[in-house]
Structure 1
């Protein structure tokens, strides 16, 4: 697992949005969504694109193309636009969370901690203003909720998010 986290860090520092990524975004997001998406920092954008591309592959493999799931994968971390963590902060939080589980939540007065734990809820609140349907908002709000199992779309989103 540690080696995989190092690989993820490397992906983060080398993240660049390319032509294929731009086309993928234009295919799945409207103009307002693109403006919102572009408020994420570069490594978060690339993470969301990779998450969505993996979700799309799973959908196509299962002959169940799902536009809502792919859009949710692209926008699942939108709650991070209010405070953009850099890769060092993000990596630090991943390690602390692994070592201390959820005990770090009590330090939510620090923005980096708050965003790490509460970006799904923050994303839900941001996107709710745009009148998305409840299913889409549910996916955003619960993409880190490990208490929910057996929801096929949410499970795919969590799997792809964790992989990237």
Structure 2
């Protein structure tokens, strides 16, 4: 655990959506996507916005088309709309995962453990109902999968998610 995690916890505790965030969302999400997005807790919304802004910067720097990946970044944690975790619960999950080297994953029958480890899969299933293409769903599902290393878009998403 590092200073980064303390900063992340603090940011989640004071998170708020500003007018510039609302404008950013309206520029990148359709109405039905905004309705889904707004079901996330505020701290998760702000996290996704921060990830999407970093994706935009990274893509610009690497001269990669970014609109598709920005939308993925905004919706990458959409599976968490079913979560009841607050920032303190999430911090506890991070700590438990760290001290057990991920072995807590075997307790996925508990809602918070399941959400922490499987929100990508949950989000993928949710978005599949809306007709997203396979590539979009792949990125949502695998944004925490460290076994896939040869995918530029996935690597950008994971890098930006990890920073936020």
Q: Normalising to structure 2: TM-score of the pair?
A: 0.97
Deviates more, 1:112-121 or 1:57-66: 57-66
Q: Distance in 1 between matches of 2:4 and 2:152?
A: 25
- Partner of residue 159, structure 2: 159
Match of 2:42 in 1: 42
Residues 126-156 of structure 1: CA distance to partner in whole angstroms, max 9, x if unpaired? 0000011111111000000000002000000
Distance 2:135 2:155 in 1: 14
> Mind listing any 5+ residue stretches in structure 1 that lack a counterpart?
none
Structure 1 counterpart of 2:73: 73
1:133 aligns with 2:161: no
- Aligned Cα RMSD in Å? 0.9
Partner SS for 2:146: coil
Structure 1 residue aligned with 2:114: 114
Q: How far is the alpha carbon of 1:100 from its aligned partner?
A: 1.2
1:85 touches 1:112 (CA, 8 Å); kept in 2? yes
Q: Distance in 2 between matches of 1:134 and 1:8?
A: 31
Aligned length: 164
Q: CA–CA distance in 2 between the matches of 1:65 and 1:24?
A: 17
Matches within 5 A, 1:90-109: 90-109=90-109
Structure 1 stretch displaced more, 50-59 or 99-108:
99-108
Listed as ranges, the gaps of 5+ residues in structure 2 are none
Cα deviation code 1:87-124 (max 9, x no counterpart): 01100111111111221111112111010001000000
Distance 1:136 1:52 in 2: 14
Other-structure match for 2:18: 18
1:40–1:84 Cα contact (<8 Å) kept:
no
Please give the TM-score of this superposition, normalised by the length of structure 1.
0.97
Q: 1:81 aligns to what SS in structure 2?
A: helix
